[in-house]
A and B are shown apart, each in its own frame.
Chain A
């Protein structure tokens, strides 16, 4: 099993930390992982993205031009990465702020209204965990016990009291994600 994922959105949306929690959970489940962020000026107020690879084998390139899954949190990233999803692959997006919808018919497209839901629940800081939950519903690559361990490892000890909220957000995300039919 090798899963090649791009997570992309605005800086500050928790793109990198979502990737880190996923990657650390993978490590806890004894998988090979790599986490390759965009870095530098583009992250300061612009778009941020991270490539996460989970595998049962040694990982070759941490830099990729096509992905099994794209998790997209803004329009710029959708424009950039929709075409980079492998045929038959998965595209997940949050419709908040999306004006031009994805249009490919050879991939599986899902939407998750995580930003809206997080706002309603007052959980906007862990909106990224709702998105992660949606992804894990479709691709349960990492088991909940290892997500728990991944959260413990990724978050500084002073934030460990927030782990139950993070896990709750993941569960909410699992119920929130829905398939999107691309119309002509």
Chain B
């Protein structure tokens, strides 16, 4: 078993990056995720593993540093919170277009605009449906615990390099700020320059005489060429949908009703489940872990077995659209949410289940 620690979610992200063999972190402080860079600065991984930790002058600079570093095949990460992630969207779209691997962590806070610093899940659409311009997808992971904050960094890097695609970890202020027990995975050494070149022949690592220039770009002024780029991207996203779906179910075997929730909302729903089952309500929980690829088939199949679903999110109703598309119109599907940094309590979720789904 790996090393046991009590850590904040944000600290777990930082420690996991060092342990995953990350080559560089570029970021700019913003609550509620500033502990990521604070932790990295205090740990000084550049003295141990050679990992670069750099505070950029803005989020726009961070994401473009990430773009440049990822182009050289390095394993790189940035983190921010909602308004900062909005600033990064141009760079994220460019990276998706240029097919570059990187991990981008969004510790979501309430919006829109400068919003609040309290937890929210209102960036689901931004993370899953694009965010920047063009037809692109990020792989989106939704951790529900500090342990998953740690594990998803490693998983994120694995998927980013497997598919040459940016990966977003969509967390929230509560999971970033809370402390839980974490079992840390054993450190993986950073890749040597030789391994990097061998494993990533596409990377711009310096031109030997033996081959032509490697050009990394998201620009192709010839529409036919740009269509080919898009077709290639879509084929890749399809492969990701076929292979990488992750989800968790709890108590779904005998369930008549289902909570569908990701991240922190799923934790709250677990408590609501206990309360509702104590009242004799047969309720289960479906928790998507990957938001793209979305577990369409698993939710569709579950929809055939139950009477209704309550989608619980800390937003005004975003993931519910994907749940409805997955299930179709055969059963009742309603949304319950709180906004702007308010976290729903387990009690009010049970009440919503009783009034909107069972009694409704």
Q: Which residue of A lies closest to B32 (CB)?
A: A39
The answer to whether A7 has its CB under 8 Å from any CB of chain B is no
By a CB distance below 8 angstroms, the chain B residues around A63 are 174, 264, 267-268, 343, 345-346
B143-185 with Cβ < 8 A to chain A: 173-174, 177-181
The answer to whether A110 has its CB under 8 Å from any CB of chain B is no
Q: Nearest-CB distance from B150 to chain A (Å)?
A: 15
Are B174 and A36 in touch, CB under 8 angstroms?
yes
Contact of B178 among A35, A153, A154 (CB under 8 A): A35
By size class, the interface of chain B is: 20 to 34
By a CB distance below 8 angstroms, the chain B residues around A27 are 4, 6, 181
The answer to whether B118 has its CB under 8 Å from any CB of chain A is yes
Q: Nearest-CB distance from B346 to chain A (Å)?
A: 5
Are B177 and A39 in touch, CB under 8 angstroms?
yes
Give complex CA distance A40, B176 in Å: 13
Q: Nearest-CB distance from B329 to chain A (Å)?
A: 31
Give complex CA distance A96, B44 in Å: 43
Q: Which residue of A lies closest to B117 (CB)?
A: A40
Counting residue pairs across A and B whose Cβ atoms lie within 8 Å, the total is: 71
Are A36 and B178 in touch, CB under 8 angstroms?
yes
A47-73 with Cβ < 8 A to chain B: 59-66
Are A37 and B270 in touch, CB under 8 angstroms?
no
The answer to whether A169 has its CB under 8 Å from any CB of chain B is no
Q: Nearest-CB distance from B266 to chain A (Å)?
A: 9
By a CB distance below 8 angstroms, the chain A residues around B264 are 62-63
Known: A61-B270, A64-B271. A40 touches B180 (CB 8 A): no
Known: A36-B177, A39-B32. A60 touches B6 (CB 8 A): no
Q: Nearest-CB distance from A133 to chain B (Å)?
A: 21
Are A60 and B271 in touch, CB under 8 angstroms?
yes
By a CB distance below 8 angstroms, the chain A residues around B118 are 40
Q: Nearest-CB distance from B337 to chain A (Å)?
A: 15
Greatest chain B CB density within 10 A among A34, A64, A66 is at A34
The answer to whether A24 has its CB under 8 Å from any CB of chain B is yes
Contact of A35 among B180, B346, B347 (CB under 8 A): B180
Give complex CA distance A63, B343 in Å: 8
By a CB distance below 8 angstroms, the chain B residues around A66 are 347
The answer to whether B256 has its CB under 8 Å from any CB of chain A is no
Are B31 and A40 in touch, CB under 8 angstroms?
yes
Give complex CA distance A63, B178 in Å: 10
The answer to whether B241 has its CB under 8 Å from any CB of chain A is no
Give complex CA distance A108, B105 in Å: 44
Are B346 and A64 in touch, CB under 8 angstroms?
yes
Give complex CA distance A64, B272 in Å: 10
The answer to whether B90 has its CB under 8 Å from any CB of chain A is no
Are B6 and A61 in touch, CB under 8 angstroms?
no
Give complex CA distance A20, B8 in Å: 11
Interface string of A127-170 (1 = CB under 8 A from B): 00000000000000000000000000110000000000000000
Q: Nearest-CB distance from A111 to chain B (Å)?
A: 28
Are B179 and A23 in touch, CB under 8 angstroms?
yes
Q: Which residue of B lies closest to A52 (CB)?
A: B179
Q: A33-B181, A154-B6 are in contact. List 4 more A-B contacts (CB 8 A).
A: A37-B178, A40-B118, A61-B346, A62-B264
- A selection of 9 A-B contacts at a CB cut-off of 8 Å is A24-B6, A27-B181, A36-B174, A37-B178, A39-B177, A60-B271, A61-B268, A61-B270, A63-B343
